[in-house]
Structure 1
Amino acid sequence: MTLDPTEIASSWLQSYAACLASGDVKGAVSCFQDTGFLRDLLVFTWNNRTLHGHEKINAYLENTLAHASITDLKLESRRGLVPEIDRFNAQLVSSAAHTVSAGFTFLCKVGRGRGYFFLVPVDAGGWKAISVMMQLADISGHEEWIQEEGAHAGHTLSWTDVNRERREIIEKDPYVLIIGAGHTGLNAAAQFKHLNIPSLVVESNMRIGDNWRKRRVLPQTYLDIYCELLYHPYPTSWPLYLPRDKIADWLEHYAQAEDLVVWTNSRPLPCPTYDRTSGRWTVLRELLGEPNIPIMDNRDTFDGPIVHCVDYKGGKPFAGKRVVVVGAGNTSADLCQDLSFHGAESVTMVQRSASLVIPIALVQNLVENMYPEELEIDTCDFLVMAKPVPLIQEMADRTEALLVEQLKETYQPLREAGFKLVTNKNLFTVFYSTYGGGHTSTVPSRNLCLLASLMTGYFYDVGCVDLIRSGKVKVKQGVKIARLEKNSVIFTDGSTLEADAIVLATSFGSIRDSMRGIFGDSVIDQTSPVWGLDDEGELRGIYRPSGHPGLWFAAGEFYTSRARAKHLALEIKAVQLGLLKL
């Protein structure tokens, strides 16, 4: 029997729509499988929620459905969102032989929404949803604009004058202060601009992009199709793996092309205050997320350099030296490879716990499947967002054994070298379960966004595994540095290793903890932990209310900062319009 995905999707959506419109909670819940997911991104509440199973979905809708006023559900007609059979392998999401998936649009109390669902057949006949994602797309009367006319006062005003006046207005009275002009901060600033939210970006470096230019580790592991910025596709002639400096220059160009208001080399003074009556911040200081420096007894007795990765200037100064690299994530792998290439006598990677290792070819294959050339990047981001993280984890569990088998040749030499592997987490789980540090800084503003995107716990293999296999990079596993002697490192297991230099690839502390020195405990204690997953599988503390009014956290690699910028902008717009009270 030939399945008609449009007929199946239309029939299911019609039933679901009727229940939502009439306020029939039990009927709406019955449209889901018993173990189905409902992912709500700012539709039923001004927050990001994932509900799993009939009981939780029912309890959630009982309190929110009537207020949301969901109506006018229609199937999407845009490419990549029309009903399809087995867009994702059915065996990855259920035991069913086939899945049907489709996008849809709808109206809600505050505006327009977008959604996506995955259906599976049930024994009793018909189809039910294993997952439904519903996302607020725009607030009525305050829709995102894409392109302006470009002619001003009947073509009598020059663009230079118009742009200067716009900048001056924002600089005098920004509604949002964004701290850090990395890809996360710039994506947010561009999104805010297109929702008419005046925002000022403060960057401590001399130039936009310097946070990339100053990196001294291997730069070529960033896939161009994954690293796009909002509104600006990368040139098709660019390399598949983007060099570090090319990304830096692209960020600088992006800020200019989007006419973003950015203050570089800006170092305001202490200390931020928040006026609850006016709802305004006065922020007075710049701070980089503090490097995570492990405690090592007798540190002053060590005769060689001890360098944190933030201050690493390349491997040449370490030629002929015995180097110990503390850490086993992406930065450590890049550092070890760089040190070996530049002639270090020996390189030893110190791994305290366990790490996930993914060959770069597998990452490329995954990203190309997620971001096919024929689909717009916004559509691809939307399809990735359509799957709740717990569902992704379930899908990963189903393929774990197969993946481990495929990676046997990669993993075997690592195990033989003593490297401890994480093999029960897929790529997305690692991204979401690690945490970041970041930048902060100040001027008077109503909303303060702290941006971060540093992560640990995994590395993409672009050559380090071969160095470990050959013995050029050795592994010391399950220990930390206990103390130092003049020319040696003593580990917590009592063993000793002669060393001439130590490089700390230990990332940065949590941006939330770093902010205590700026905002104080009374403010930070009101905020949620930042990064990682909550009990529902949603990101903690970022792109959602932090717990303190006017203070928002944003973080993530390119996909997360690009796809989530709209969510953050809509929340702040809702505050500005009085729709959201914090």
Structure 2
Amino acid sequence: MTVNPSQVASSWISQFGKALESEDINATVSSIHSDGYFRDILVFSWNNRCLHGHAKLRKYLTGSFDKVSIRDVKLETRTGLTPEYGALTDKLSLRAVSAGFNFTCAVGVGRGYFSLVFTDSGEWKALVVMMALADIEGHEEIEHELGIYEGHALAWTDVFNERRKAVETNPHVLIIGGGQAGLNVAARFKQMNLAALVVETTPRIGDSWRKRYPTLTLHSPKKSNSMLFQPFPKTWPVFTPRDKLADWLEQYAQSQDLIVWTNSRPLPHPVYDNSTKRWTVMVDRAGERVTLHPFHIVIAASTLGAPRMPVIPRQGGFKGSVLHSSVYQGGKPFTGKKVIVVGAANTAADISQDLVFHGAQSITMVQRSATWILSRDSARIMFDRAFPEDVDIDVCDLMAMARPISLLSKIERQTVEQSLEEQKTTHQGLAEAGFKIMAGKGFLTLWYEGRGGYSVDVGCAELISSGKVKIKHGVELAEFKTDSVLFTDGSSLEADVVIFATSYENIGDTMRKTILGDEIMDRVGPVWGLDDEGELRGCYRPTGQPGLWFAAGEFYISRAYSKQLALEIKAIELGLMVE
């Protein structure tokens, strides 16, 4: 079939726009495939929702149109968002016409994206439609300043020092965590005129990365890991090393004029005043206690809480070394040692590879359950498709947001066997070495379930296949002996070193124990994972506790959804949204 994507997209958006503008629920719903998804971000409600199927969408839209007032629905003209016809994913034959669009609504302007499929009835219907609020009228995101102040009479240093003093004295928002999530949120808030103070526990911005193992390199390409407003240089490595990323974050905070307190942490327990809508929170700033009264607190610490360290009986009697991967600083101290690495995901694989390089006498990886393995080349293809080099990052983010997680997970389940076949050679060697490959779930499902259980292979698979890294599968450590460990199957293994690459607590659990306490976290509920609509729980959306927000996730999520969070806080400030 010959398809003119511009013609198809123009015809569909004309019908869809008229349906929205005339507040015709039936016509709006009929524009969408019966198995389609409608994703709404702050347009029809001050939340993010994903409605699958006509019945749920019709119920959701009922009573909403008169409050929203959609109009001026037009196709986008920016590169990357003009109509295109192609495969919906690289693993399905299903093809779609996709394009971006703009619109105005009662409170401001919005952006959207759709993917149309040709139905058996001979019509183009939307498999996916996403509509997102982009700006509130009169409170638009600032692009940049002129750089000349008071008629060229004020120096930049004086301007910035005055701004710093104002934010430190009376922050509208307190952001806890100065990693990529906290910095992305802070940068977005600054451009949205939301006075934000970042508090970071470590001595320097970037230390959360510097303190991890030396060979750590991001497994996703640099484009997907861009920070807001500031792409990496063209000369930057495709995969970013630990220390380069740490230094980049440190200079990012400075170049984006963010107000950051390092060596600082909030003390338990902040108190929220329902009458003033402010928190009272004590911050330990390098030993000095400072009381702040922000309207909002944002927990921006990825999803990673405290290191998860299993308690194993008789550890005190073990004469060797026991450590968590979070404090592993390279394999040199373990040359000639017998090492057990507990875990079989990314970190465990990287550490095992490093131990081989540094001449450990033996390395045994304890794989407690099956692991999803993906080659770096395959991962790069996946990320490059989502974040192509020739498309602006904000356009990439918009298109990524338009792909509901529940749809992507469904596609992933349908193509798991194909993915396994593509990795067949690698998987065969692993299986022969006793390594169990996860077959029922893929990367996305594992990521959103708990950010574990998968590994992007950068060389450890060959070491396992060749026997340089041995595998012990399906067991747990039962207890320590003087110079060995006993497993739950009754077997034992001599060891000089045991490294637990057992991930980290969920950030919500750590906040419950260290800062926020049970009363607040009982209101919040789960942080991370997916709700019954396939939306992230407790992240970048109301938590149940007024004035408290979580900004979790990796670079793309914090970069893209920082706008949603800024709009929600701005809407509360303007009286448009009630928590």
TM over 0.5: yes
Q: CA deviation at 1:91?
A: 7.7
Q: CA deviation at 1:268?
A: 4.5
Aligned pairs (5 A) from 1:78-157: 78-86=78-86, 88-89=88-89, 92=92, 94=94, 98-157=95-154
Q: CA deviation at 1:42?
A: 1.2
Q: CA deviation at 1:396?
A: 2.0
Is contact 1:69–1:109 with CA below 8 Å preserved after alignment?
yes
Q: Aligned equivalents of 2:90 and 2:446: distance in 1?
A: 24
CA distance 1:269–1:30, shift in 2 (3 Å): closer
Which residue matches 1:545? 542
Which residue matches 1:52? 52
Which residue matches 1:568? 565
Secondary structure in 1 matching 2:217: coil
Give the AA of the match of 2:465: R
CA distance 1:89–1:264, shift in 2 (3 Å): closer
Give the AA of the match of 1:476: K
Q: Aligned equivalents of 1:207 and 1:325: distance in 2?
A: 30
Is contact 2:325–2:501 with CA below 8 Å preserved after alignment?
yes
Secondary structure in 2 matching 1:208: coil
Is contact 2:318–2:481 with CA below 8 Å preserved after alignment?
yes
CA distance 1:217–1:417, shift in 2 (3 Å): farther
Secondary structure in 2 matching 1:283: strand
Secondary structure in 1 matching 2:425: helix
Which residue matches 1:469? 465
Of residues 163, 167, 182, the one that matches 2:164 is 167
Q: CA deviation at 1:209?
A: 0.8
TM-score, length of structure 2 as denominator length: 0.93
Secondary structure in 2 matching 1:489: strand
Is contact 2:264–2:283 with CA below 8 Å preserved after alignment?
no
Aligned pairs (5 A) from 1:291-330: 291-330=307-346
Q: Aligned equivalents of 2:84 and 2:278: distance in 1?
A: 48
CA distance 1:561–1:89, shift in 2 (3 Å): closer
Q: Does 1:375 align with 2:391?
A: yes
Secondary structure in 1 matching 2:101: strand
What CA RMSD, in Å, does the superposition of the two structures yield over aligned residues?
A: 1.7
Q: CA deviation at 1:133?
A: 0.7
Secondary structure in 1 matching 2:99: strand
Secondary structure in 1 matching 2:523: coil
Give the AA of the match of 1:480: E
Is contact 1:221–1:462 with CA below 8 Å preserved after alignment?
no
Query: Which is worse superposed, 157-166 or 341-350?
Result: 341-350
Q: Does 1:422 align with 2:438?
A: yes
Structure 1, residues 473-519: CA drift from partner, whole Å, max 9, x if none?
11111111111111111111221111111111112111111112222
Query: Which is worse superposed, 118-127 or 137-146?
Result: 118-127
Aligned pairs (5 A) from 1:432-443: 432-434=448-450
Structure 1, residues 523-581: CA drift from partner, whole Å, max 9, x if none?
10000301111111111111111111111111111111111111111111112222111
Q: CA deviation at 1:31?
A: 0.8
Of residues 239, 262, 279, the one that matches 1:241 is 239
Q: CA deviation at 1:253?
A: 0.8
Q: Does 1:224 align with 2:222?
A: yes
Give the AA of the match of 2:60: Y
Structure 1, residues 305-339: CA drift from partner, whole Å, max 9, x if none?
11011221211111111111111121111111111
Give the AA of the match of 1:290: A
TM-score, length of structure 1 as denominator length: 0.93
Is contact 2:91–2:415 with CA below 8 Å preserved after alignment?
no
Which residue matches 2:488? 492
Structure 2 gaps, min length 5:
285-300
Give the AA of the match of 2:44: F
Of residues 549, 554, 562, the one that matches 1:557 is 554
Give the AA of the match of 1:502: V
Which residue matches 1:272? 270
Secondary structure in 1 matching 2:464: helix
Q: Aligned equivalents of 1:337 and 1:273: distance in 2?
A: 47
Aligned pairs (5 A) from 1:269-418: 269-284=267-282, 289-418=305-434
Which residue matches 2:18? 18
Secondary structure in 2 matching 1:33: strand
Structure 1, residues 215-266: CA drift from partner, whole Å, max 9, x if none?
1152233422221100001100112122211111110111111000000111
Give the AA of the match of 1:316: K
Which residue matches 1:259? 257
Is contact 2:278–2:547 with CA below 8 Å preserved after alignment?
yes
Which residue matches 1:443? none
Secondary structure in 2 matching 1:332: helix
Query: Which is worse superposed, 411-420 or 227-236?
Result: 411-420
Is contact 2:115–2:127 with CA below 8 Å preserved after alignment?
yes
Is contact 2:269–2:517 with CA below 8 Å preserved after alignment?
no
